[in-house]
Structure 1
Amino acid sequence: MGANTRSPAVVLGLCSFTHDSAAALLADGELVGFVEEERLSQRKHTKDYPRQAIDWLLSEAGLTAHDVDTVAYNFQPLRYLAEVPAAARLALATGTRDRALHRASGFAKVAYRTQKRLQDLGRRFPNARVRPVQHHRAHQLAAFASSGWSESAVLVVDSLGERQTTTIARGLDANRPTTRTLEAINDPASLGYVYGAVTEHLGWRRGDEEGTVMALAALGDPARFHSLFARAVRTTQTGFFVDPSYFPPRVLHGGFARMTRRFVDDTCPRRQPDEPLQDVHRDLAAALQARTEEVMVHLARRAQLVTGSRRLCLGGGVATNCVSVGRIIEADVFDEVFVPPAPGDAGTAIGAAIAAHCDSGNSKGIAGVTRSCYLGPTYPDPALDLSPWPGLTQKILGTETAEFLADQLAHGVIVGLFQGAVEAGPRALGNRSILASPLEPGVVERLNATVKFREPFRPFAPMVVAERAKEFFTLGQEAPFMSMASPVTEATRQRIPAIVHANGTARLQTVTEWQNPFMHEVLTAFGRITGTPVLINTSLNVKGKPICGTPDMALDCLANSGLDALLLEGRWITK
């Protein structure tokens, strides 16, 4: 697009250089697309500059780097500097004195690095203004704009955004969204930090495998360490406080322990990844999860009190804890709860772009964000060369593709599905999924052992046509993005126990014909064949790999896992 015809308001939103790199593009307020770099680079949680994501977005819009007016980045460097003098207070207490100087220097160094990153972005986009956006504001706007609501409370809970770890805001007008932060909690009070520290202590990767700990929690007894976590993470009238005698203040340098000797002595030694699980590990996970749920419900009640709203949007990394979200819904604090498809840091690329667009004075509202999750690249007619994967064969299906797929699933075939645009966020939502019948004996064991190559206690999420969800789940609201754990009905326990986790819940996805016509057709056909319009839906990947964003990644997944077949844009590929 030439210089005389390009859009007068092209905003590129970025999450980069930290983790979960991603990019979003707004052209006059219209969302061109959004994609996480890992879906294209095959590097899970990559912090690299999202080159491939940006190249795709600019190509979609017919633009070049010279056409970008604003680059919106999801952190503000100066806000880190505010922690430098604040860290001095740690020197006044014996238990934290040794960390005060290191903490101050760490925040100062991150501020400097963030400023250098802004300068680097300016060189990459020579005609653009580079605009840093406060991290929690980016989370707030991404969540609220996606809801489509005219007004709601917005609760963001994560590990760290500059200094903030938890914010309560009120959102207004999702068409031209604004959020006003009413209360904030600063580090070192961080629920995400605590959860990550215990995840690492239990032998899994912090920032990646917290979901594994959440699943393990259902197998333990929270009572064993309940009093410990009640002391370590104490609720206050306006939020919570983390006891430094268990979890010392964060230092943004390597080599500093995230928990104290007292915590280790009162619980267990650190588990190595190859060590067998013991009851103490299960009980520690259970107590951590239980306390997280209690604090999240407490924060939700506080959000309702200070905003007066009957609706809640959730954002931040802790919002991916679907069991906690389910507990908030069960507490009946709000009439409806919403979690966007990408509540973690990747989604702040969208929020940062929205902030820059709205702050620019552009009169146009935001479009293409509300309830949208299929925002990445498509490959509608891929020219497949199967020679790199000897043994794979393909055939082209006709117009009855959904009926064919439903029949295969009903006969016990485990199928990878690659169709349409790449999903936003950490969940596969029917475009990059592995599908299986929950009626098949031993399906969970087979999926974990031979397809996903992951721990045997990990559950699998169900997807159901929205109009029949009440027959199987008691959540009481739609769950389009698989972000909420729902209790199940007795019919579910009897007919499809494979999708019920040990805690009696299932991470539900409700599918409407509007949201995903093909998956709705497949579920309807499967229900017609079996009487149960419910399928197991897990992401198209194996443990340690990102969700497959490209056809080649999907073919690798088929060739190197226990998948029976792959349905790739109307092509039935088997081995």
Structure 2
Amino acid sequence: MRILSFYFGHDANVTLLDEGEVVCVLEKERLTRVKHDAGPMDLAAILEDYGWTPESVDLVVFNPYLRPGRDGRRFALEIEGERYDERPDYKQDGWCGPPEGRMSRHRIRLFGRPFEALAVDHHLAHAAGALFTSPFAEAGILSADGSGDLRACAMAWGAGNRIHEIEYGWGYEKKKMQLNIGAVWASLGEYNFGMKRLEGAGKLMGLASYGTPREEIVAVLREQMLYYPYAPFQTFRFGRGDELALEPEDPFAQDVCASLQQLTTELFLEAARRLKSRWPVACAVLTGGCAMNCIANTAVHRSSLFAGTWVPAQPHDGGLSLGQALFAWHHVLGRPRTPRPLTPYLGTDAGPLPEERAEEIVGFLEQGLSVGLCYGRAESGPRALGHRSILLDPRIPDGKERLNREVKHREWYRPYAPMVLGGDWGVPGKYMSYIVPVAAHGVPAVTHVDGTTRPQILEEGDDPFLLRLLRLWRERTGCALLLNTSFNCQEPLVDTVAQARATWRRTGLDVLVTPEGVETKTGRPGAGAQ
């Protein structure tokens, strides 16, 4: 059974599933080099790249919400049958029921021929993708983002190979609008800070740690979240006149972000308590774009409500095609599931590295050089997890400032995170989704202003090359952490060796390591290595 699944909203993506095994998860932005790229992808070319033919596809899974491509042309699906979003109860606030109420069966025409097809709701796909890639046999699920299928949040319960029930809303169904955490972060970034809408939240979460929450600001943000999440933050209510603009250096702006972070954390905890009371489950999984908020995730994890929590590698919309495909395979087709984490390395394959390359990398890092690493299959999801990463010694006092200035060219307040070698960190941090306290004097380059970091924790059974690299680094330096940040510069994560080399050449990155060899720059230590 071969399943082709696609999502053509922002962060468009495609998944191929063969007998329940993930063949690939491809995000459009990696291929086009346009951040958060939306609209149709070349399905025929993707099938060909992975040795599939249209005739070999048994089932197509999709979300009916489509965005036009960058050329402005709309893409219409040829489908037969009533879609779930055409049913009378589709817009009902607080709808609750079995997932069959938010999916529909169809015939769809692609590649000049008809296929059996399923349409799957946005938050249902988030929920399925989170549970079915987790280590839990049963869990409650919280999903929240900036809106999908006209809903900004949902909670669900699943066990085994089924999602048993899903409810749209986190308890605010009687209000004028649903609780919309993601849209307020995005609106604050876009309208008050002048950022691109889909990039503001991630940046402002870093700025929040510089400020102090203020209850009067929290109250205004709570009102905005319920009634007008797509509007600017109302600065005029704080004696700022008609000026909407906020600057990161302004203490008031920092306090606004800190207040929004406090409110977000409070709402996550409130939703977690409601989830626990509705379905008395032992574990919880968090998903949707808002599950990239590490502080809120950690608060839920440490709340004692659940024995364990989990955040998937791809909680954002870039993982929706995967969730759709797994929902079809497990829930609809009834195929059994073995609870275990899914590898995040599901993208383009750049090829393997020889084991001995790890020693060379450690040598460069000991010299204080930055190393760009591109090998194996690319990470699926928004975080670099070692296969498309920039590495640096985290003990370098000005390491953060140096990377910001010479390589990444990003805002001064945004933190860096490490990959770490095992240990009891108190969080399930495989994908940099939780925060932990860290000693700033030991690893200043990965310590945020609030004394925390968000680690990628590598353990036995994880990527063998990265484990070897971290063990060698610890043997040589006594340090079990390496700064690990996305291999990019104002662009999507690099996908191929050619893209990695182009980014290395146009930035101050010192060393490039790929399956094609080791490349350094003239005039720097190690120059000339091949």
Match of 2:17 among 17, 20, 26: 26
Structure 2: distance between partners of 1:421 and 1:325: 27
Structure 1: distance between partners of 2:123 and 2:292: 16
Counterpart secondary structure, 1:206: coil
Match of 2:245 among 271, 276, 289: 271
The farther-off stretch of 516-525 and 125-134 is 125-134
Structure 2: distance between partners of 1:359 and 1:84: 21
1:206-249 deviation per Cα after TM superposition (whole angstroms, max 9, x unaligned): 212311100011111212xx323235426xxxxxx9443xx26x
Matched, 1:180 2:165: yes
Structure 1 pair 84–485 and aligned structure 2 pair: CA distance change class (3 A) = same
Match of 2:413 among 433, 457, 462: 457
Report deviation, 1:150. 0.9
Matched, 1:546 2:517: no
Structure 2: distance between partners of 1:46 and 1:133: 21
Gaps of 5+ in 2: 66-82, 94-103, 522-530
Match of 1:515 among 442, 453, 462: 462
The farther-off stretch of 202-211 and 214-223 is 202-211
**Matched residue, 2:517:** 571
Q: Given residue 420 of structure 1, which amino acid in structure 2 is its aligned partner?
A: G
- Counterparts of 1:138-287 in structure 2, within 5 Å, are 138-173=125-160, 176-182=161-167, 184-185=169-170, 187-200=177-190, 201-223=192-214, 226-233=215-222, 242-244=225-227, 247=228, 258-259=231-232, 262=234, 264-266=236-238, 268=240, 269-271=243-245, 277-287=249-259
1:67-110 deviation per Cα after TM superposition (whole angstroms, max 9, x unaligned): 222221134765377589879xxxxxxxxxxxxxxxxxxxxxxx
**Matched residue, 1:477:** 427
Is the 1:152–1:311 Cα contact (8 Å) retained in structure 2?
Answer: yes
Match of 1:327 among 287, 293, 299: 299
Q: Given residue 321 of structure 2, which amino acid in structure 1 is its aligned partner?
A: A
Q: Given residue 178 of structure 1, which amino acid in structure 2 is its aligned partner?
A: I
Write out the 4+ residue segments of structure 1 that deviate beyond 6 Å after TM superposition: 83-87
1:36-58 deviation per Cα after TM superposition (whole angstroms, max 9, x unaligned): 12112211100031227x63455
Structure 1: distance between partners of 2:86 and 2:410: 38
Q: Given residue 487 of structure 2, which amino acid in structure 1 is its aligned partner?
A: L
Sequence identity (%): 30
Structure 1 pair 82–345 and aligned structure 2 pair: CA distance change class (3 A) = farther
Of Structure 1 and Structure 2, the greater helix share is in 1
**Matched residue, 1:45:** 36
Matched, 1:67 2:56: yes
The farther-off stretch of 77-86 and 492-501 is 77-86
Gaps of 5+ in 1: 1-8, 88-114, 235-240, 251-257, 382-396
**Matched residue, 1:556:** 502
Counterpart secondary structure, 1:127: strand
1:228-286 deviation per Cα after TM superposition (whole angstroms, max 9, x unaligned): 3235426xxxxxx9443xx26x6xxxxxxx247x55443753327xx673222111111
**Matched residue, 1:350:** 322
Is the 1:22–1:34 Cα contact (8 Å) retained in structure 2?
Answer: yes
The farther-off stretch of 351-360 and 42-51 is 351-360
- Counterparts of 1:379-528 in structure 2, within 5 Å, are 379-380=350-351, 399-466=355-422, 468=423, 470=424, 475-488=425-438, 492-528=439-475
Report deviation, 1:309. 1.3
User: What TM-score results when the alignment is normalised by the length of structure 1?
Assistant: 0.79
Structure 1 pair 564–551 and aligned structure 2 pair: CA distance change class (3 A) = same
Q: Given residue 156 of structure 2, which amino acid in structure 1 is its aligned partner?
A: A
Q: Given residue 212 of structure 2, which amino acid in structure 1 is its aligned partner?
A: D
**Matched residue, 2:278:** 306
Structure 1: distance between partners of 2:403 and 2:164: 42
Structure 2: distance between partners of 1:399 and 1:142: 33
Structure 1: distance between partners of 2:91 and 2:134: 38
1:281-340 deviation per Cα after TM superposition (whole angstroms, max 9, x unaligned): 111111111111111111112212212112111110100111211222232222211000
Counterpart secondary structure, 1:166: strand
**Matched residue, 1:376:** 347
1:176-230 deviation per Cα after TM superposition (whole angstroms, max 9, x unaligned): 343421563464421111121112122222212311100011111212xx32323
Structure 1 pair 178–188 and aligned structure 2 pair: CA distance change class (3 A) = closer
**Matched residue, 2:267:** 295
Is the 2:248–2:254 Cα contact (8 Å) retained in structure 1?
Answer: no
Report deviation, 1:504. 1.8
Structure 2: distance between partners of 1:72 and 1:497: 46
Is the 1:40–1:550 Cα contact (8 Å) retained in structure 2?
Answer: no
Counterpart secondary structure, 2:133: helix
The farther-off stretch of 454-463 and 200-209 is 200-209
Counterpart secondary structure, 2:498: helix
Report deviation, 1:427. 0.2
Structure 1 pair 374–179 and aligned structure 2 pair: CA distance change class (3 A) = farther
Structure 1 pair 183–85 and aligned structure 2 pair: CA distance change class (3 A) = closer
Structure 1: distance between partners of 2:87 and 2:184: 23
Q: Given residue 132 of structure 1, which amino acid in structure 2 is its aligned partner?
A: A
**Matched residue, 1:10:** 2
Report deviation, 1:573. 1.3
Structure 2: distance between partners of 1:177 and 1:83: 23
Q: Given residue 427 of structure 1, which amino acid in structure 2 is its aligned partner?
A: R
User: What TM-score results when the alignment is normalised by the length of structure 2?
Assistant: 0.85
Q: Given residue 6 of structure 2, which amino acid in structure 1 is its aligned partner?
A: L
Give the number of the structure with larger relative contact order, counting CA–CA contacts within 8 Å between residues 6 or more apart: 1
Structure 1 pair 526–124 and aligned structure 2 pair: CA distance change class (3 A) = same
